[in-house]
Structure 1
Amino acid sequence: MANKHYGLPSLSALASFEAAARHVGFKAAATELNVTPAAVSHQIKSLEQELGQTLFHRHQRGVELTDTGKTLFLAVQRGLGEMSEAVQHIRESAALKGVTIRATTAVSSLWLTPALAKFWRAHGHVVVTQQVTDAPQPADDCDLIVRYANMSRDSGACQSLFKDHIIALASPNFAAQHGIKDLSDLANVPLIQLHAEDQTWTTWPQWTQAFGYNGALGEGLHVNNYTIALQAAQDDMGVVLGWELLTRPLIERGVLMQVLHHRLETPQDFYVKLRRNAPANAKLLRDWLLQRARKAP
């Protein structure tokens, strides 16, 4: 169909002409366009009739462009080349569309950042900006949010990542020195206490009471950052509560160990929330994180 707005012949005829001119033959053009040589010949004949000009000299051994054909070929190539550059630019812009993702310091350092390192190896074209904060923030200023909270109270596109268990951790050296065998032993050792803006954290009294222990508990270092709390435990400063799954790398490295067999399922959910109208790459990252979380033992 001719493009009347620009006064052009059929775009399919121009495409057939460009391919035939570039290959200097109808057969090769037909192969590229996945049509028959007769179809290419028909398109070019229609184009010649519309223009009132011969575009190819036909010989027994093949075809060659006329002077008019050469002029049209250069113009068509120039136009298609500019369109190709524009399309490539659009594709690259879409591929480089940034994705912003937010998490707390603890979730970022223990789970999200290691996960993103693997994501980039598989999807290096996606630019990810990670926002790390322990203070409440607006939910609509980034594409993805990884939260530890009650997902049922959140609105929007929320999907559960995983549930974890809360365990008591200490450095191997601290554990050997204090010989913690039972919950009552926690009365005689320093317990690292977390006091953060995020009120979803399970406290020592809540954790021990879940197992029926209401006795005394030891005092210890008070911090407002969970990463610092974990570091303090590694430095032999006391016992800390930790997410079993998230602290597994520290346990496997031997810098922390579980000192009691008690495991309390987290009362909150680890979940990811996708902002409305988020770019396609944000959905790609969300789906990848969900898949990775499901594979976690």
Structure 2
Amino acid sequence: MFDVAARCASFKQAAQQLGVTQAAVTRQIQALEQQLEMTLFHRDNRVHSLTPAGLELAPQLESIFKQLDQTLDRARQLSDNNTTTLTVAIATARLKFWLNQQLADFQSLYPHIQLNFVGCSESPDAAETAELTANLTHDSLDLVIAAAQIRDQHIGRHPLGEITLVPCSNEQDEQRLWQTPWLVNRDSPNQSAYLKHYASNLRATPVIHSNDTLMALELTQSQPRVALVDQRYSQSPHFPSLTLFPQFATTTKPELAVFYHKRRQQSVALVAFTKWLQLISK
């Protein structure tokens, strides 16, 4: 306030420039003079001028305030740009029916962490697992959420719970379940384990290979089909109106996990997101 008052023709003009009352300017100048134990302005109603002490101090304070303004501007820019981005590989169906509905909670807790998503299989085969491992190691990806078996000393893992597969269909009759074609990803260890578990029931059932759960669900809505899904998907408000058969649900391996590149010190954003994932998976 002092540097503005020093450049203006009166306290009234300084008050107008600052958007405050003249009395407020006067009080601030008086408080500054008391703190410095010196008079900065002549107390003459006819003349608004600085004392010798004020004249000495004014240019120094103006320089200091300019430096302070520049420092604050840089701090604001850093604050505005202080957004950490994490790139996460996840299956489209898992993002749509499990993670997406809970992301608002994470963003409210960590508004400066931006999440970018790329697609991957729910249960990657050996070739995709190798590719995901390489992408994590070379920092093309920050995290992978999948039912995968990544055995690499440079890759860390946090479990997110077992996967319970449940059949769903637009057919409501249990007897029709084993007569209707099933859409199953034979490359998925989880779904292959399910097929093995119910081999006797599926002996006469047409099994069609489908490596995309979202596509399988789309087909199941429009045709007499059966799709295998993670049971937690059915809790999503966006899950299609299909009949679930929980009496034939089976827990399979490997379990769902989040994978990341091991470092001596992980980023705060990565730790925050993995801890949050573990929390919502309980």
| The two structures share one fold, judged by TM-score above 0.5 | yes
1:93 and 1:207 map into 2 onto residues whose CA distance is 47
Query: In 2 relative to 1, CA 291–259 (structure 1 residues): closer, same or farther, beyond 3 Å?
Result: closer
Amino acid at match of 1:271: A
Contact 1:190 1:220 in 2 (8 A): yes
2:258 counterpart (272, 288, 291): 272
2:196 and 2:186 map into 1 onto residues whose CA distance is 19
Equivalent runs, 1:71-110 vs 2, <5 Å: 71-94=59-82, 96-110=83-97
1:110 aligns to what SS in structure 2? helix
1:77 aligns to what SS in structure 2? helix
Equivalent runs, 1:1-150 vs 2, <5 Å: 23-24=28-29, 56-57=38-39, 66-94=54-82, 96-134=83-121, 135=128, 136-137=131-132, 138-139=135-136, 140-150=139-149
In the alignment, structure 1 segments of 5+ residues that lack a partner are 1-21, 30-36, 46-55
Q: How many residues align?
A: 235
Equivalent runs, 1:169-248 vs 2, <5 Å: 169-171=168-170, 174-176=171-173, 179-180=175-176, 186=178, 188-196=179-187, 199-203=188-192, 206-207=193-194, 209-210=196-197, 213=200, 216-248=203-235
2:151 and 2:30 map into 1 onto residues whose CA distance is 65
2:241 counterpart (255, 259, 264): 255
Moved more, 283-292 or 139-148: 283-292
Amino acid at match of 2:184: Q
1:97 and 1:261 map into 2 onto residues whose CA distance is 44
Query: In 2 relative to 1, CA 25–256 (structure 1 residues): closer, same or farther, beyond 3 Å?
Result: farther
Query: In 2 relative to 1, CA 240–146 (structure 1 residues): closer, same or farther, beyond 3 Å?
Result: same
1:283 and 2:280 are equivalent in the alignment: no
Contact 2:213 2:229 in 1 (8 A): no
Task: Name the TM-score, length of structure 2 as normaliser.
Answer: 0.68
Query: In 2 relative to 1, CA 154–169 (structure 1 residues): closer, same or farther, beyond 3 Å?
Result: farther
Query: In 2 relative to 1, CA 211–89 (structure 1 residues): closer, same or farther, beyond 3 Å?
Result: same
Query: In 2 relative to 1, CA 155–214 (structure 1 residues): closer, same or farther, beyond 3 Å?
Result: farther
1:108 aligns to what SS in structure 2? helix
Amino acid at match of 1:169: C
State the shift of 1:283 in Å. 2.8
Contact 1:208 1:214 in 2 (8 A): no
2:92 and 2:85 map into 1 onto residues whose CA distance is 21
State the shift of 1:25 in Å. 5.3
1:233 and 1:154 map into 2 onto residues whose CA distance is 40
2:160 aligns to what SS in structure 1? strand
Amino acid at match of 1:227: L
State the shift of 1:289 in Å. 2.3
The percentage of counterpart residues that share the same residue type is 14
Query: In 2 relative to 1, CA 283–69 (structure 1 residues): closer, same or farther, beyond 3 Å?
Result: same
